[in-house]
Structures are given as structure tokens and as C-alpha cells.
A and B are shown apart, each in its own frame.
Chain A
Amino acid sequence: MNARIIEVSKTVLALQKAFLAIILVVLAMAVFNMIPATRSEFFSQVNLVDLLKSSSIFLILAMGETVTLIAGGVDLSIGGLMALTGVVVIQLINAGVPIPVAIALCLLLGLVVGAVNAFVSVYQRTEPFIITLGMGIVLTGIGLQLTDAHPVTATDQGFQSIANTEIFGPVPILVLVMLAVVAVVYWMLRNTSFGRNVYAVGGDYEVAKYSGINVLRTKAATYLICSLTATLGGVMLASQLNSASSIAGDNTPLYVVCAVVVGGTSVAGGIGGAIKSAIGLVLLGILTNAFSMLRIDTLVSYLPTALLGIIIVSILWLDSYGRKRKREAV
């Protein structure tokens, strides 16, 4: 029994570099906490809940992005879509539309965007990342035009309570929504034939095609899922802050994709999973949090951004290098 636990944990650590990194960061923070000069509030309940809350939006977005990446695509329009959704939902509510209707309309908007992405990149066979990059610019532009580049605030206080109502002590609904999205995507990828098809399409497009999988429809569906999660993330973000800005998503897509890759989902497709992506996102979230808790930016300002960039590059480098080694081994 004991030997088996050791064996399992060994494989987990070997497969999950990001998980190992999380453990290292937590240990490092524990050590820092023993030294009076660097003692921080990292392990306080407030900070841990904060960490969970601030990672939740990105985690929701990352679940859809994971599905798209596994199928061999990529969606960089999620930032623009998230920001636009926030703006639209708040403007609709301020215009007197009932909250559930406003949210439903936003999800519809997400489906339309996903359908356009899927049509141009999957059915017309163009390069998805540049198409979705363009789509992100279009959506941000629409958001800017709608708001004249000013942030908008919801007048109906009921909207705010959707994400922020606390249940289970200090844990708000937002976190539950995130956990639900993770659970659904995990179940979908692991236990449904659609999930299997997604892996097959991303792993080898031609083989999947000749195995009788409707590759086009499977791949297109992943873009719809990705847009839906981005829309949900946008609604939740607007609700959490009770306001929305058209430029809120400028750095989101690449941050989310990098975090997903950090977790072990490959940009080449066919490899990955919901839990892996969640671990990747938690790692980046924990690092950002640890940097701010240790007040690194008071030593050298902007150092945290540089460190985050270096860490992202190193992990992407390792991802590519692993593939190179595998290629050469064959």
C-alpha cells in the first residue's frame, strides 16, 4: 500500500511539473514565513480565498481554451469576448432588461462569435490563432465604441450578488461556478465520446478523419465551447466587480493559453486535460500572489512581471523541448 502511494506520487510528480512547482512555491513561502523579515500574510484565510477568487475567472476561461487546444486549435479572441460580454451585460441590465435575459443574450453572443471563429478557421481552414487574434481586436473595438472607452457600472445591485454572495463561509458563488465548469469539462473530456473525439482530432487529424470521426464538427464544437466559457467568464467578472471595461481582456488570451500550456496541455494538440490546466493556472496565480505578498516590487519595481515572463518562457521552452526529444527518439 505504502509502496503504491509512493509510486503514484512519483508518476504524478514526473507528469506534473507544474504541480511540483506549486509545492515548491508553497514550501518556499513557508520558509519565508519563518524569517521575521519576510513574514507575510500568504497563508491567511483572507489571502487564500482572494487567491481562489482572482484565479476563478481565468480558470473558467481556461477550461474552454483547454478543449480547443486539445483539438489542435487555439482561440485568442477570449479576452476580447470576455471584455465585450461584461460591457454588454451591464449595458443591457442598465437599459432595464431583466438579469437572466441579459445573461442569456450574452451567452447567445458568445455562440455567434464561436460560430464565426469555427466557420473561418475550421471550415475555411485558415490559421486559427491569427483569425481569433483578429476577432479579439474586432470585439475589443466594438466594446470601445459601445462604452466610449469608459468603464461602465451596473445600477442594479442585484447583479453584483450573482458572483459575490458568500456561501460556505467566505467562499463566494463565483468559486462554485468555477468548480462546476471544471467538473463539467473534466467529465466531458474523460467520459463522453465527444471528449475522446477531441483528443483524437488533436492527436492526428488524418487518422481521426479516416476513423469516421466528424472532424470538422468536433473541432468547430470546441470553438463554441471556448466562446461559451469566455462569455461566462465575462459575465462573472462583470458581476464580481459590478463594472466592466472594454480593455479588461487585452492580456487575457495569451496569459490563459500560457497557463494552460504550463499545466501540460500541448499547443500541438492531442495532449492535456481539465485538471492539468487548472493546476497550471493555480501555479501562475500563486506565483503572482507570492510575488506581491513578498513585496518584491518594492525591491525592484516591475520585477514580478519580468519573473512571470521568464517562468512562462521557460515552461513553453520545456514543452517544445520535450516534443523535440520525443521526435528524435522515434
Chain B
Amino acid sequence: MSASTQRLGGRVNSQTAINLLKSNPIFVAIAALAVVTSFVEPQFLTGENLNNIIRQFGTLIFAALGMTLVIMAGFLDLSIGGIIGLVAVVTVTLIDTVGQGPAILIGLSVGLGCGLLNSALIISSGALTQAESLFITYGMSLVYGAAALMYVQGVTQFLTYSKTSIALFDTINSGGIGFLSVSAMIFLVCLAILYVIERRTYAGRAIVLTGGNKVAARLAGIPISRSIVIIYSVSGVMAAIGAVVLVSRVTLADPTMGTPYMTQAILAVVVGGTALIGGRGSVMWTVVGTLLLILLNNCLNLLEVSTYVQYMLRGAILIMAIWLDRVKQTSVSK
């Protein structure tokens, strides 16, 4: 097994730190990017900017955290793009009729419902491979996206047009204690819960084992179906949280606003080092992967690289990350 399964926050001495750096070039990449960026833009290391980076984490980190569990179990969820769009429009349109708090709750339940529907489809069809889950959730993404479009007739909904209070959204966007913004707090709470699920519960172990080898997991009496329900519900709810945070930040809801997050979330998870074949990884690594992506975006923006080249680079990084991970695995198994 590779070193990336080592528990983060284990006993740290200089030797393990060096080993960790050697086997995880991602930290080197982040350090290099941080150094470059702080040279180009001296403001980079101020507390305000770091908080800004946490805010840029925004929707992506929530979607990516949910995706991590799905990928660890050896599946994929391409429907989060559709779920984010659907949750966003449902939440914003309901503010006037039921009030802001219930609207957010209904939005989150829509995310949960979508996740449960995904898992029901996958379990009932007996899909066990990543490819099957990929295509089924892609199809569902079309359905959720079309449902969102039908619901608002393709019209963008503006948060600021609401007649009742939208204080809760303002708080999520700009509120905070000290330098810790509310969205950062939501992120930390989600991260803590997911980390505990992943490391400290039977369900978490079952998810990792499902991803390691589905046949072996079934023969060992691990409830694969329960793992599938958990991962897709978590993914749906996390996408919904991401949608609410996104709506608070951009103050509008568009049925297609979730589309870019589908590939970016996978990218963040994979760059973080969670193996696409499942059975290996951690939500902590996804945080690191997302951080790297955000820093890279920052850096490229400061260097005034065109957005199209940035888009291209994202694809290239995805290919490189997976390829390097494979090379690393092959050298370890030798």
C-alpha cells in the first residue's frame, strides 16, 4: 500500500515528514505555488487573502468532499452538476413562500432525495462497475437539469428580488467570527463529520472495503448496498450545501450553474491522491487537492494566463495526476 494511506496527523518526526513529502509531491507543488504566488503578489499571505481563498473554496470543496466518499467506494457521481442547479433554483424560488430557513432545509432535502434516487437506481440495477455508475448518474444529471429548467422555465432567479428577508444567505456569504467566515465554519463542520464517518465508524470502513474489492467485500458480509446509499446521499447533500453557499455568494440561481463542478470535483479528488479505482484515499487529501487547484487558479490569474488556457491546463492536470498516481502505484508494487 502506498504511503498516502498513512493517517494524517499521526506522530510527526522529521523522517516521516520527509517520507511524506517524497511520496506526496502534492505538498511540494502547493509550497512551490505558494512561494511563486507570494512573490508575484505580496498581498498573498495576508489573513484577508487566506480567508478569501477559503471563500473561493466555496462550492467546489463541498462537492469534492461528497465525491471523495463516492470515489473511495469505487463509484462515480456525475449528477452533482444537475443537483446543484436543481437545489439552487428550488431554494431561491421557495424563499418567498416558506421563508429562508425552511427554503434552505427543503433545498438540502432535495439534494438528499436526488442522492437516494441515484443509489436506488444503482442498487436495483445491480451496477457494480464505475463505468455503469458513471453513465447512470450522467443520465440522472440530464433529468435533474431538465427538472430545474422546467421548474423555473429556464429563467434565472435572483436572490435579491425576494420580498422577504434573505439575512441567512447574507450571513453565509459575508458573516463570520474573527477571520473565520460562516462558509468556512460550515466547511470545517462538514469535514469533521465526514472524517469521523470515514475513520471512526463501521460504515466508513465498509465504504473503503467496498472500493477495495467489491466481490471480496460482499463475500465478507459487508453490506455493499448500505455503502451505496450512504455515499450517494452524502454526495447529494454535500452538493446541496455547495449550491446554497454558491447562491449566497453570487445572489442568483441558474438551472445550469452546477455544470462546471462535475469535472472539477473529480479533478480535486483525484489530484488530492484518492485513487480512482477506489479503496484508498481520504477527505483530508481532497482538501489538499482542492487547495492546490484554487492556488493554481490564483497563480494563473495573477500571471494573466488566458481562461481558455487555464481550462486546457485543468484537463492536462487531470491526465497527469492519474498517470503519475499509476506510475507511483506500479513502482510501489514492484
Q: How far apart are the CA atoms of A267 and B135 in the complex, in Å?
A: 9
Assess whether B166 is interfacial by the CB under 8 Å rule. Answer: no
**Shortest beta-carbon distance, B2 to chain A, in Å?**
15
Q: Which residue of chain B has the shortest Cβ distance to A328 in the bound complex?
A: B126
Q: How far apart are the CA atoms of A124 and B327 in the complex, in Å?
A: 8
Assess whether A90 is interfacial by the CB under 8 Å rule. Answer: no
**9-residue interface stretch from B91-99, B142-150, B173-181:** B142-150
CB contacts under 8 Å to A, within B192-227, are none
Q: Which residue of chain A has the shortest Cβ distance to B133 in the bound complex?
A: A320
Does the CB pair B125–A267 fall under 8 Å?
no
Most chain B beta-carbon neighbours within 10 Å: one of A124, A130, A139, A319:
A130
Does the CB pair A309–B308 fall under 8 Å?
no
The interface residues of chain A lying within 8 Å CB-to-CB of B185 are none
Report how many residues on chain A are interfacial, defined by Cβ distance under 8 Å. 49
Does the CB pair A313–B147 fall under 8 Å?
no
Main secondary structure on A side of the interface with B: helix
Does the CB pair A127–B139 fall under 8 Å?
no
Assess whether A208 is interfacial by the CB under 8 Å rule. Answer: no
Does the CB pair B127–A320 fall under 8 Å?
yes
Main secondary structure on B side of the interface with A: helix
**Shortest beta-carbon distance, A190 to chain B, in Å?**
25
Does the CB pair A321–B125 fall under 8 Å?
yes
Q: Which residue of chain A has the shortest Cβ distance to B153 in the bound complex?
A: A301
Does the CB pair A137–B263 fall under 8 Å?
yes
Assess whether A4 is interfacial by the CB under 8 Å rule. Answer: no
Q: How far apart are the CA atoms of A100 and B266 in the complex, in Å?
A: 40
Q: How far apart are the CA atoms of A137 and B306 in the complex, in Å?
A: 15
Assess whether B55 is interfacial by the CB under 8 Å rule. Answer: no
Does the CB pair A137–B276 fall under 8 Å?
no
**Shortest beta-carbon distance, A287 to chain B, in Å?**
13
The interface residues of chain B lying within 8 Å CB-to-CB of A316 are 125, 132, 135-136, 139
The interface residues of chain B lying within 8 Å CB-to-CB of A127 are 130, 276-277, 322
Assess whether B54 is interfacial by the CB under 8 Å rule. Answer: no
The interface residues of chain B lying within 8 Å CB-to-CB of A323 are 126
Does the CB pair A145–B266 fall under 8 Å?
no
- Among B124, B277, B312, B323, the residue within 8 A (CB) of A137 is B312
Does the CB pair A137–B150 fall under 8 Å?
no
Chain A 188-207, CB-CB to B under 8 Å as 1, else 0, gives 00000000000000000000
Q: How far apart are the CA atoms of A55 and B308 in the complex, in Å?
A: 30
A130-B266, A306-B147 given; A138·B315 CB < 8 A: yes
Does the CB pair B309–A141 fall under 8 Å?
yes
Q: Which residue of chain B has the shortest Cβ distance to A119 in the bound complex?
A: B323
A317-B125, A320-B125 given; A302·B149 CB < 8 A: yes
Does the CB pair A130–B270 fall under 8 Å?
yes
CB contacts under 8 Å to A, within B311-334, are 311-319, 322-323, 326-327
A137-B312, A301-B150 given; A131·B322 CB < 8 A: yes
**9-residue interface stretch from A155-163, A171-179, A253-261:** A253-261
Counting from the closest, the 3 A-B pairs by CB-CB distance are A141-B312, A324-B126, A137-B315
Can you list 10 A-B pairs with a CB-CB distance of less than 8 A?
Answer: A120-B323, A124-B323, A126-B323, A127-B277, A137-B311, A144-B312, A301-B150, A306-B146, A312-B139, A320-B126
